[in-house]
Amino acid sequence: MRTLLFVLLLVASPVWAVQPDEVLPDPALEARARVISQGLRCLVCRNENIDDSNAELARDLRLLVRERLTAGDTDEEALGFIVARYGEYVLLKPTTGGGNWLLWAAGPLMLILALGVGLAYLRRRAVGPVDAGLSDAEQARLNEILKE
C-alpha cells in the first residue's frame, strides 16, 4: 500500500523540465530567468512555456536566456534578443503593438458585429410586414367569391 501511494505521489507531482545543470548559482538571476521562461513558448510543444517543456529546443532557449542574463542583459534586452531571433511567435502573450492590434481587436469586434446583426434580424422579425388591407377591387372580388 505504501509503495502504491509513493508511486501515485511521484506520478501526480509536477515535473519541472529545468535540469540541475541549467540552474544559475545566483538565486536572483535564476528567479529572473524563470520569470522570462514562463512567458516564452516552446516552439515544439506549442502552448507550453519553455520552463515546463522537456524538448531540446526549449532547453536551448532556457540556456540562451540564462546566458543573456549572465552577460549582463536586462530582462527586456534578453527577451528582445530572443524575439528578434525567433520572432514574436515565441511569446506566449504577444504584444499589442504593430499589426497585432488587429488580432487583439478582432474577437470583440466580431462579437459586436454578430450582436448587431442578430438584433437587426430580431427587430425586423418582431415588427413583421405591414398589413395595408385589401384594395376596393380586391374586397369586391372577395365578396363576390364568398357569395357564390
| Digit-coded pLDDT (tens) for 118-139 | 999 998 887 766 667 788 899 9
Q: What separation in angstroms does the CA of 141 have from each of 68, 130, 131, 132, 144?
A: 92, 22, 18, 17, 5
Split at pLDDT 50, 70, 90, the class of 10 is very low
CA distance 112 to 9: 48
Q: Is residue 118 located within the same domain as residue 75?
A: no
Number of domains in the chain: 2
Instruction: Yes or no: say if 58 and 17 are a contact pair by the CB < 8 Å rule.
Output: yes
Q: Has this prediction a pTM greater than 0.85?
A: no
Report the CATH number at residue 40.
1.10.8.640
Q: Is residue 119 located within the same domain as residue 77?
A: no
pLDDT in tens, 99-111: 778 888 889 999 9
Average pLDDT over residues 49-75: 88
Identify the weakest region by mean pLDDT among 25-29, 60-64, 67-71.
25-29
Domain extent for 143: 100-147
